[in-house]
């Protein structure tokens, strides 16, 4: 797989996804090389931003223990990964989309990559900038999930893929909102 084929993943089910399906990377390997390191990014960035410009997080943020906030956020992200893989598989079955657990967890690992990378926006203490970066990342994550479902699912149906994306992203947004509330309380 080349960097160019990876860049095409959110754009097409025919570009990049077939090569990824042929590679069939092990989920443990994907977890250790992709999920684990990238899911560390948001907690580290929260810790950095919380220590360097807590006023962005609102009143009272300067007194928080940002290490604990980051640790809780990290553990919750790992739990969310496990739940998202399971949810993709279950919702896929509900919609008669044949997708195995391996591919469901592969999608659960790939789809949040833009969201994890968007946490780098916290290097800039500007709420509007970070909201924009996060919104773009969410759009790319939705596209990755949509194209991945069409490519890895045994039934290419745009409406089915769209329905699954709505449910999974909706559940993911609820989980992320709860994570943020927990982190900022």
> Which class for 60: exposed (0-12), middle (13-18), buried (19 or more C-beta within 10 A)?
exposed
pLDDT at 2: 65
Residue of higher predicted confidence among 81 and 182: 81
Decide: helix, strand or coil at residue 10: coil
* Of residues 23, 1, 24, 43, the one with CA closest to residue 100: 24
Q: Percentage of the chain surpassing pLDDT 90?
A: 47
pLDDT higher than threshold 60 for residue 144: yes
pLDDT above 70: residue 22: yes
Average pLDDT of the residues of the chain: 87
Return the higher-pLDDT residue of 1 and 17: 17
pLDDT at 3: 65
Task: State the chain's maximal CA–CA distance in angstroms.
Answer: 52
The pLDDT score that the predictor gives to residue 115 is: 93
pLDDT of residue 114: 94
| CA 170-174-179 angle, 5° bins | 145
pLDDT value for 41 = 97
Q: What is the pLDDT of residues 109-138, one digit of tens each?
A: 999 999 999 999 999 999 899 999 999 999
Model pLDDT for residues 82-108, shown as the tens digit of each residue: 999 999 999 988 988 888 999 999 999
pLDDT tens digits, 31-56: 999 999 999 999 999 999 988 988 87
- For residue 185, what pLDDT is reported? 65
């Amino acid at each position: 797989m080349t960097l160019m084929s990876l860049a095409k993943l959110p754009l097409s089910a025919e570009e990049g996804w077939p090569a990824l399906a042929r590679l069939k990377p092990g989920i443990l390997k994907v977890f250790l090389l992709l999920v684990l390191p990238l899911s560390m990014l948001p907690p580290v960035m929260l810790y950095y931003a919380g220590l360097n410009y807590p006023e962005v997080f609102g009143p009272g943020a300067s007194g928080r223990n940002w290490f604990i906030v980051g640790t809780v956020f990290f553990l919750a992200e790992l739990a969310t990964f496990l739940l998202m893989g399971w949810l993709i598989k279950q919702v896929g079955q509900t919609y008669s989309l044949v997708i195995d657990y391996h591919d469901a967890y592969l999608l659960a690992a790939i789809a949040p990559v833009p969201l994890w990378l968007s946490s780098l926006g916290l290097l800039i203490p500007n709420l509007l900038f970070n909201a924009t970066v996060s919104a773009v990342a969410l759009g790319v994550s939705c596209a990755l999930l949509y194209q991945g479902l069409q490519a890895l699912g045994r039934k290419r149906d745009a409406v089915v893929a769209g329905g699954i994306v709505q449910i999974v992203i909706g559940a993911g947004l609820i989980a992320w909102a709860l994570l943020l509330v927990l982190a900022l309380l």
